[in-house]
Each structure stands twice: as C-alpha cells, then as structure tokens.
Amino acid sequence: MFQAMGTHGPVLSPLASLVLDVLLLGSAFWLLAKPSQRPVMDSLILLTLVASVSLLRVVMQPLPNVQPVTVAALLVGAQLGARRGAAFAVLVTMISNFFIGDGWWTLFQAAGWASVAVAGSRLSLVTPSGLNVRRAVFASLAAAVWFDVVVSLSILDGTIGPVGFLVYLLHGLPFDALHMAGNFAFVVWMGSWFTGLLEEEPALDEIEFAVVNSHGIDG
C-alpha cells in the first residue's frame, strides 16, 4: 500500500499538473477562509506548522513509510477542526511533494491526509484535560492503514483488476506495519506536546465578553 517504484499511475501533462496544483491550493485557501476570516496571527501559526511538518517529512524521507504527516494531520484536525486540518494536510502534501516528487499521487496523498484530519476532528481525541493518548494511538494506527489504502488507489489506471489491486495491497503490508509503528511512536512521544502547541488561546474580546457576561450573571 505504498507508492511503488515503477508504478506511477496516469502521467500528467504540464497543464494538468498546473490545474491539479491550482485545485489543491484553491481548496486549501477556501478551507482556511470559511466560515469566517481568521486573524493574521492564527494563519501564521498554521503556516509555520505547515512548513515545519513539510520539512520533517522531507527530512524523514529516507525512512520508508515513516510518515509524520499522518499523526500531524490527525491532531491538527482534532484540535483546530476539520477545515483547518484538511487545509493543513493539502498544503503539507503540496509543499513536501515539491521536494520529494510531484505527480498524480499527490492528489491521493492530499485526499488521504485530509480525510485523516477530518476523522481526527470527529473522534474526540482532545478532552479538556488534554490529549487522550490511548484513543489517539488507535486512531493513528487506523489512519496509517486508511491513508495507505487511499494512496494505493492511484495505481488504478485501468490495467489492474480487483485481484491485482488486492495483491498490490498485500505486497505493501510490511510497509503498512512500519507506518503504524511510526505513528505509534509519534503519538506517544509528541502527541501531547503537539496538541498543546495547537491549543487555541482565547482572544482578548472573548475574555472580556466572558468576564462581563460572568459579572452580569453574578449581578
């Protein structure tokens, strides 16, 4: 379930590549812009995260299928919500693939990690006391398998039947195991820290509103 050598999926023309990039970038900005405009500082933090995780992915490329982005997408989704999680996933995929290798598979990787981020936002991984590590571990293991399956869909170019696809998935099981082990390590080592990093501080007007509201109730 990994991007195999010698199997690239459909070849994209330069125009198609441009359309794909514009589509992905447009969707990322649309996700960031809706439903309301975000403060500049908020966006800067997210972009810093995008750059850091992209760099981490590029640096860790020599380790086969150890994917820091999966856990990052899961936790960004859990902490910042589905929209920003998906935007984060799309941007990280685009930027890191610019260095690692761009192509048809970028679409599937972006979709895979974006769906992981959406799942992260729905799984109640973050509680008022912090990250639920046990739940996050299980979610990251499932996310590894899910992501690998989604990315594997990129080889379906009409020449591979259902059995061939099944064989392809089976061949990749050792790599899936490594992805799961890597996710496990990322969650137990960095999960709580990363979640804390993403914790949103209430804005001044929100604090003022809360204080006034509280006094109002007291009065």
- For another protein, which stretch binds (CB under 8 A), given 25-33, 55-63, 67-75, 85-93? 55-63
Query: Which residue of 167, 203, 210, 212 would you call a contact of another protein, by CB under 8 A?
Result: 167
Torsion sign over Cα 121, 127, 128, 133: negative
Q: Does 194 bind another protein (CB under 8 A)?
A: no
Query: Which residue of 21, 27, 61, 153 would you call a contact of another protein, by CB under 8 A?
Result: 61
Q: Which is nearer to another protein, 145 or 160 (CB)?
A: 160
Q: Tokens 């799942």: give the residue.
A: 119
Query: Which ranges of the chain does DSSP label H, i.e. alpha helix?
Result: 14-33, 40-59, 68-80, 82-100, 104-122, 133-152, 162-171, 173-198, 204-218
Are 2 and 148 spatial neighbours (Cβ–Cβ below 8 Å)? Answer: yes
Query: Which residue of 35, 36, 128, 163 would you call a contact of another protein, by CB under 8 A?
Result: 163
Query: Which residue of 85, 103, 112, 120 would you call a contact of another protein, by CB under 8 A?
Result: 103
Return the CA Rg of the chain: 19
What lies within 8 Å, CB to CB, of 81 at 6+ separation is 121
Q: Does 174 bind another protein (CB under 8 A)?
A: yes
**Least distance CB 168 / another protein (angstroms):** 5
First to last CA, the chain: 62
On the question of a cis peptide bond just before residue 35, with omega within 30 degrees of 0, the verdict is yes
Interface size with another protein, residues (CB under 8 A): 35
Query: Which residue of 31, 49, 65, 147 would you call a contact of another protein, by CB under 8 A?
Result: 65
Residues at the site binding another protein, with contacts judged by CB under 8 A: 2-8, 11, 61-66, 103, 159-160, 163-164, 167-168, 170-175, 177-178, 181-182, 184-185, 188-189
